[in-house]
Structure 1
Amino acid sequence: MPLVEDTFFLDPNFQGTLQSQIQQIVASAILAGRLQAGEKLPSSRKLAEHLGISRITVTLAYHELVADDYIKSANRSGYYVSETAPMVPLPAIKGEMHKDTVDWTKAVQRDFTGGKTVKKNYNWRSYPYPFMYGQPDPDLFNQASWRLCAMQALGKKEFDSLTSDYAEQDDPELINFIARHTLPRRGILARPEQILVTVGAQNALWMAAQILLNERRAAAYENPGYHGIREILRHTGCTQFPVEIDDQGLPPDMLPDGLNALFITPSHQCPTTTTMPMDRRRELLRLANERNFLIVEDDYEFEMSFLKPPSPALKSLDEDGRVIYVGSFSKSLFPGLRLGYLVGSEPFIEQARALRLASLRHPPGYMQRTTAYFLGLGHYDAMIKRMRGVYQKRRQVTAQALANTEMKVAGRASFGGSGFWVEAPERVDTEVLRHRLADNGVLIEAGNPFFAGEDSPRNFFRLAYSSISSERIPEGIRRISQAIKEY
């Protein structure tokens, strides 16, 4: 791809001739690696017109660069970066970048770094044994149908959905599908005015926290629990109460007084995958009404129910409008989609809509319409049905392989899911184990980031079977078991 002349600028403070300045601009860019071998430079005529200088000045500069083997001339087609041009790493370039004199320790008023998070391997597909949670198996995703839906959304008839600024609104077809098909499967009835599309569940949780909390308010969450919630709450400045869970999820009688909001994953507790029984759900709702706090329900992965139907969502039992429901298509389709949704009372959704408008306006209309087609034409249900069968087999293989090791399954979803919460012997730090296994081609998620506090357990990890084939699971678990024995 040829470089455009708009990327070239003259420095009025440069000490030297225009010819030498052009030489330095091109040479420095090549040395820094910004111009790669084989890339075409702007023609001398276009560059001269852009810079407002004589064409002969640019031509002479190019000739000097050719002589120094930075660029080469191709007859009648222009100038290109030479294949043998000298290159050095960017840090070795002196004086090219402007010096940063800002004292960022004083300029930054809120620290958004430093929280405990799960480390992701973004090149996980290159590992032979990737037990990576939330990552899609390309063999299970219906790429052909998605491509057709994307092409349909790009069509002339869909020009408005592709190009329009929805402002505070969402794609009506996607909202209609969520209201008429997705939510009723969880026992939830909602009007379009009570639904807002978000950039994934993370964005939905963030907006809920921003609306409900501040420095004078308090929120509780599960421990261990989704690490992203702790960070979201930290940024609100609210008082945080981590509540220890047991084998049935969060115990309602352990909730402290003075709460304003509770963030919870009752149907599929993160990360243990435990399902909260119905009596606890009803008690939670009773306490919420009695103590006047709100509940934010993150209802992820309910589609992966291949053992038995999942329990009704907490929102479906809510008769007082106290539950704010968070759903996502990113988990079941693919993480890069970044489409989720909020369901709540209209006054809350009105605030969320205004907050979204101020921060990002709306998720891309094209992605909303493509997703609406994929859902509405039945491709989504067909894909989920296929995934359930594959996941059920992988779950059986994983459970059998774990049964022959010293590892213990500390949590498994009663309806299915896509992974196990595993407890290793107490001597094992799974963060250290994670690094050792990666060197042996195996990827796992260390469990410590899911716990609040610095002195929390370090011998848990999450073992997902969504991104690894059944044939590779036994050998992968054998390697994990061997690494634990050698720890």
Structure 2
Amino acid sequence: MAVPVEAFFLDPHAQGTLQVRIQQMIAQGILSGRIRHGEKLPSTRKLAQHLGVSRITVTLAYTELVANDYLAARGRSGYFVSENAPTPPPAFAGPAPSADRVDWARALGQRFAQTSEVTKPLDWNHYKYPFVYGQADPGLFDHANWRLCALRALGGADFHALTSDYYDQDDPELIAFIARHTLPRRGIQARPQEILVTLGAQNALWLATQVLLTRDRVAAMENPGYPALRDMLLQARCRLAPVEVDADGLPPAALPEETDVIFVTPSHQAPTSATMPMARRRALLERARALDALIVEDDYEFEMAYPTAPQPALKSLDRDGRVIYVGSFSKSLFPGLRLGYLVGDETFIREVRSLRASVLRHPPGHVQRTTAHFLALGHYDALMRRQARALHQRREAMEAAITAQRLEVAGLPGVGGSSFWLRAPERMDTIRLFERLQEQSVLIEPGHNFFAGPSVPRNFYRLGYSSIPVARIAEGIALVAKAVTALS
């Protein structure tokens, strides 16, 4: 690969002759890893023209770099980075900072970075026992048909969907499928103007918080609950009211009187996986009506209900138009898809559509059309049936292994889902449990990030089973139990 001549420029603050400065420029590029072994450098003529120096100056600099084994001359082919050139250190720090560096503690107007989050290893699939949540299992995914749908979306018939700027609109084929097929399965009827495609459920929740909340309004959320939602609510600077969940999810009677917006996960409470029963769903709607509050329903994993059918969505029971529905294809297909949707009153959708347009206009057309083809051709339904069978088997294996190892499940798990919420002994910090198990190729998720408030329990953890084969579950759970005993 050739390094483009535009990648080179002389540092105006560097000392020495032009020849020396050119040598330093190239050597620093190699030492930083920006220019790699075997890559071809620009010809002496091109680099001289680009830098505005004489060709002999560049030639002499190259010759000196060849002598120092940074470069290798290959006859008429030109100059290449030598295979013997020094390799960059593991963490190249770059040029030394100046004395007049920006004081970022003062310059930042707002802070968004979270320090308590446990980093999930990106190489989770290299672990033998990945009890991670929310990752796709390559053994279950329909690679062949997804590839065919992506190729079809690249074809001439879909050129408009691929290349157009929709501005604040979405792919009409995807919207039509959501309206005619996806939502009716949840008992929801919606017109196209009441649906907005988002970059996953998280983006949908962010749009909702920005439009619905102000500093004076109160947002109630489940505790424990979705950490990313809590961060969004804190960023919105509203008044946050964490509500303790029980075995049936969010208790309506515990909602503060001043509540304006209620965020809830009734199908599978995050992270306990509790399924809210029908009586409580109706009670929640009655309580919201009495408070004149809105409800944002995050209906993630509703497809993962087994062995029985899922409960009707809150939105399907709503007669006042106060429920805003959040759905996602990223959870059911694969997280990297980043595709979800919002359903709500046309007035609300108009506002979030405008906000989305000012931030990202619309999700990529090719992604929307590929998903539309995958849905319309029946591949999605077939995949959901296959995943439900596999997850049901894994859940039974997990339940049996957890019972055999006498680990404690916190609360009553709901119907289906893809994880278990567990409680370790009272004084245990599950971050230490996470670190010990990681050394044994076991991945778990510490639970402290799910809690809000000044006193956060440290002894909860989550075990996902969407990405671990049935054959490894019992052995992996045995390692978890052994580590819990050792740290108790």
TM-score, shorter chain, exceeding 0.5: yes
1:158-197 pair list within 5 angstroms: 158-197=158-197
Q: Which amino acid aligns with 1:65?
A: L
SS of structure 2 residue aligned to 1:45: helix
Stretch of structure 1 that moved more, 78-87 or 220-229 = 78-87
Q: What displacement does 1:52 show?
A: 3.0
Q: Is structure 2 residue 394 aligned with structure 1 residue 399?
A: no
> Are the equivalent residues in 2 in contact too, given 1:31–1:90 (CA < 8 A)?
no
1:311 alignment counterpart: 311
> Are the equivalent residues in 1 in contact too, given 2:246–2:411 (CA < 8 A)?
no
2:228 alignment counterpart: 228
SS of structure 2 residue aligned to 1:166: coil
1:29 alignment counterpart: 29
Between the aligned partners of 2:47 and 2:157, the Cα distance in structure 1 is 41
1:17-54 per-position Cα deviation (integer Å, ceiling 9, x unaligned): 32222111101111222212111112222222322333
SS of structure 1 residue aligned to 2:76: coil
Stretch of structure 1 that moved more, 135-144 or 151-160 = 151-160
Q: What displacement does 1:213 show?
A: 0.7
> Are the equivalent residues in 2 in contact too, given 1:273–1:411 (CA < 8 A)?
no
Q: Which amino acid aligns with 2:144?
A: A
Q: What displacement does 1:204 show?
A: 0.5
SS of structure 1 residue aligned to 2:48: helix
Stretch of structure 1 that moved more, 238-247 or 77-86 = 77-86
Residues 93, 232 of structure 1: CA spacing in aligned structure 2 closer, same or farther, 3 A cutoff? closer
1:244 alignment counterpart: 244
Residues 401, 90 of structure 1: CA spacing in aligned structure 2 closer, same or farther, 3 A cutoff? closer
Q: Which amino acid aligns with 2:113?
A: T
Q: Is structure 2 residue 33 aligned with structure 1 residue 38?
A: no
Q: Is structure 2 residue 420 aligned with structure 1 residue 420?
A: yes
Between the aligned partners of 1:94 and 1:163, the Cα distance in structure 2 is 39
Unaligned runs of 5+ in 1: none
Q: Which amino acid aligns with 1:274?
A: A
Between the aligned partners of 2:142 and 2:30, the Cα distance in structure 1 is 42
Q: What displacement does 1:12 show?
A: 4.0
1:84 alignment counterpart: 84
TM-score (norm 2): 0.96
Between the aligned partners of 1:200 and 1:471, the Cα distance in structure 2 is 32
SS of structure 2 residue aligned to 1:179: helix
Residues 95, 125 of structure 1: CA spacing in aligned structure 2 closer, same or farther, 3 A cutoff? closer
Q: What displacement does 1:241 show?
A: 0.5
Q: Is structure 2 residue 432 aligned with structure 1 residue 449?
A: no
Question: Identity over aligned residues, as a percent?
Answer: 58
Q: What displacement does 1:472 show?
A: 0.4
1:215-271 per-position Cα deviation (integer Å, ceiling 9, x unaligned): 111110001111111100000111110001111111111100111111110111111
Between the aligned partners of 1:393 and 1:97, the Cα distance in structure 2 is 56
Unaligned runs of 5+ in 2: none
Residues 115, 56 of structure 1: CA spacing in aligned structure 2 closer, same or farther, 3 A cutoff? closer
Residues 98, 36 of structure 1: CA spacing in aligned structure 2 closer, same or farther, 3 A cutoff? farther
> Are the equivalent residues in 2 in contact too, given 1:168–1:357 (CA < 8 A)?
yes
Residues 438, 316 of structure 1: CA spacing in aligned structure 2 closer, same or farther, 3 A cutoff? same
> Are the equivalent residues in 2 in contact too, given 1:409–1:422 (CA < 8 A)?
yes
Between the aligned partners of 2:97 and 2:4, the Cα distance in structure 1 is 21
SS of structure 1 residue aligned to 2:471: coil
1:411-430 per-position Cα deviation (integer Å, ceiling 9, x unaligned): 45432111111122223221
Stretch of structure 1 that moved more, 342-351 or 419-428 = 419-428
2:470 alignment counterpart: 470
Q: What displacement does 1:177 show?
A: 0.9
> Are the equivalent residues in 2 in contact too, given 1:195–1:341 (CA < 8 A)?
yes
SS of structure 2 residue aligned to 1:40: coil
Between the aligned partners of 1:92 and 1:294, the Cα distance in structure 2 is 51
1:126 alignment counterpart: 126
Residues 47, 201 of structure 1: CA spacing in aligned structure 2 closer, same or farther, 3 A cutoff? same
Cα RMSD over matched residues? 1.6
Stretch of structure 1 that moved more, 179-188 or 19-28 = 19-28
> Are the equivalent residues in 2 in contact too, given 1:119–1:445 (CA < 8 A)?
no
Stretch of structure 1 that moved more, 64-73 or 16-25 = 16-25
Q: What displacement does 1:468 show?
A: 0.1
Q: What displacement does 1:287 show?
A: 2.0
Q: Is structure 2 residue 474 aligned with structure 1 residue 482?
A: no
SS of structure 2 residue aligned to 1:297: strand
Q: Which amino acid aligns with 1:384?
A: M
Between the aligned partners of 1:281 and 1:76, the Cα distance in structure 2 is 77
Between the aligned partners of 2:38 and 2:133, the Cα distance in structure 1 is 40
1:271-282 pair list within 5 angstroms: 271-282=271-282
Between the aligned partners of 1:127 and 1:11, the Cα distance in structure 2 is 45
Between the aligned partners of 2:367 and 2:93, the Cα distance in structure 1 is 42
Stretch of structure 1 that moved more, 242-251 or 32-41 = 32-41
Residues 87, 211 of structure 1: CA spacing in aligned structure 2 closer, same or farther, 3 A cutoff? same
> Are the equivalent residues in 2 in contact too, given 1:330–1:337 (CA < 8 A)?
yes
Q: Is structure 2 residue 243 aligned with structure 1 residue 259?
A: no
2:206 alignment counterpart: 206
Between the aligned partners of 1:70 and 1:49, the Cα distance in structure 2 is 22
Residues 94, 169 of structure 1: CA spacing in aligned structure 2 closer, same or farther, 3 A cutoff? closer
Between the aligned partners of 1:97 and 1:134, the Cα distance in structure 2 is 40
Between the aligned partners of 1:115 and 1:248, the Cα distance in structure 2 is 31
Q: What displacement does 1:16 show?
A: 3.0
Residues 118, 212 of structure 1: CA spacing in aligned structure 2 closer, same or farther, 3 A cutoff? farther
> Are the equivalent residues in 1 in contact too, given 2:253–2:287 (CA < 8 A)?
no
Between the aligned partners of 2:237 and 2:265, the Cα distance in structure 1 is 22
Between the aligned partners of 1:412 and 1:147, the Cα distance in structure 2 is 39
1:438 alignment counterpart: 438
In the alignment of these two chains, the number of paired residues is 487
Residues 120, 188 of structure 1: CA spacing in aligned structure 2 closer, same or farther, 3 A cutoff? same
Q: What displacement does 1:84 show?
A: 1.2
Between the aligned partners of 2:469 and 2:50, the Cα distance in structure 1 is 56
1:83-119 per-position Cα deviation (integer Å, ceiling 9, x unaligned): 1112453767674666661111111111112364353
Between the aligned partners of 1:183 and 1:95, the Cα distance in structure 2 is 55
Stretch of structure 1 that moved more, 472-481 or 98-107 = 98-107
Q: Which amino acid aligns with 2:311?
A: S
Between the aligned partners of 1:89 and 1:99, the Cα distance in structure 2 is 24
Q: What displacement does 1:301 show?
A: 0.3
Stretch of structure 1 that moved more, 331-340 or 92-101 = 92-101
1:60-101 per-position Cα deviation (integer Å, ceiling 9, x unaligned): 211111011111111222211111112453767674666661
Q: What displacement does 1:55 show?
A: 2.5
Between the aligned partners of 1:278 and 1:100, the Cα distance in structure 2 is 62
Residues 247, 87 of structure 1: CA spacing in aligned structure 2 closer, same or farther, 3 A cutoff? same
1:347 alignment counterpart: 347
